[in-house]
Amino acid sequence: MNNSSTEPEAEPIEPLRYLSKAEASAIETELLKDYRFGEQQLIEIWGHACALAITKAFPLSSLSKKQPTVLVVCGPGENGSVGLVCARHLRIFEYEPTIFYPKRSQQSLYQDFTVQCEKMDIPFLSYLPTEVQLINDAYNLVIDAILGVDTDLAEQREPYSGILVTLKQIKIPIASVDVPSGWNAEEAAKTDGINPEVLISLTAPKKCAANFSGKHFLAGRFLPYDIQKKYDLNLPEFPGTDCIMEL
């Protein structure tokens, strides 16, 4: 008598979806228009998640021999505002952020994020430290919140082209928000942009992240299930109650 039982076959796990610029834009538009998310709400969700990812990649205990200083470099658009929110939460988490925000947005929403950081006594620099200064000033980490998914590479003029030159030369770790500055969001091939040790993808990873070899975090747990299904995102199961996970 054969008592062996046949185990049911496990359902195949679908691969995680990597988004094009058009798909990322479409998802954000649906969140804003159909699901009634506010832009401020989304930026707050993303910025908080970025700060949590930083605490996992660079915990305070690993920085115990020196002050937990973080330089947050912000661009003029949405990505820069995510960086501002990230800096504010890092301050709450007892890190010591400093912000370089060379071209401040005229949008009132983005200005609000700036004021929130100022009210938290987070210093703003009027210039980007040189490579030597970055080392001598003992920053533990640089957060790249400069050029997001919607930035055309042809638009990377000053001061951002000079900033990228400096960031490509420094030896301290860089963590990039959503798309590393200087990368083409649509291409997984190696680019001439910066080389971050950490990438924090917002909502879902972009195509450029497909071959990223560093620590890669995903901040996408807030997405409604209908959107996840519509775009076949195949998001992994987040651990516990965490809003981020390492891929």
Q: Is residue 227 part of a domain?
A: yes
Strand ranges inside 29-173, DSSP E: 69-74, 96-100, 124-125, 141-145
Q: Is residue 48 part of a domain?
A: yes
Express as a percent the part of the chain with pLDDT over 90.
Answer: 63
Instruction: Please give the pLDDT value at position 5.
Output: 52
Q: Is residue 113 part of a domain?
A: yes
Interval 154-158 mean pLDDT:
61
Instruction: Please give the pLDDT value at position 130.
Output: 81
Q: Is residue 86 part of a domain?
A: yes
Split into its structural domains, the chain has a count of 1
Strand partners, 69: 96
124 falls in which pLDDT band (50, 70, 90)? very high
Q: With a cut of 70, say whether residue 65 has pLDDT above it.
A: no
Express as a percent the part of the chain with pLDDT over 70.
Answer: 88
Q: With a cut of 50, say whether residue 153 has pLDDT above it.
A: no
Interval 230-242 mean pLDDT:
94
- Collapsing DSSP to helix, strand or coil, 201 comes out as strand
Q: List pLDDT tens digits, range 174-225.
A: 999 999 998 988 887 666 788 999 999 999 999 999 989 999 999 989 999 9
Q: Is residue 131 part of a domain?
A: yes
Q: Is residue 80 part of a domain?
A: yes
Instruction: Please give the pLDDT value at position 171.
Output: 87
Separation of alpha carbons 82 and 102, rounded Å? 15
Interval 5-18 mean pLDDT:
66
Q: Is residue 9 part of a domain?
A: no
H/E run at residue 208:
none
* Structural domain harbouring 197: 21-246
H/E run at residue 84:
helix 78-92
CATH of residue 63: 3.40.50.10260
174-177, strands of its sheet edge to edge: 124-125, 96-100, 69-74, 141-145, 174-177, 198-202, 215-219, 245-246
Q: With a cut of 60, say whether residue 145 has pLDDT above it.
A: yes
Radius of gyration of the chain (CA): 19
CB 37 within 8 A of CB 29: no
Burial bucket for residue 213 (CB in 10 Å: 0-12, 13-18, 19+): exposed
Instruction: Please give the pLDDT value at position 13.
Output: 60
Q: Is residue 14 part of a domain?
A: no
Instruction: Please give the pLDDT value at position 135.
Output: 67
Beta-carbon neighbour count of residue 150 at 10 Å? 15
CB 163 within 8 A of CB 128: yes
Task: Look at 226 and 10; give whichever has higher pLDDT.
Answer: 226
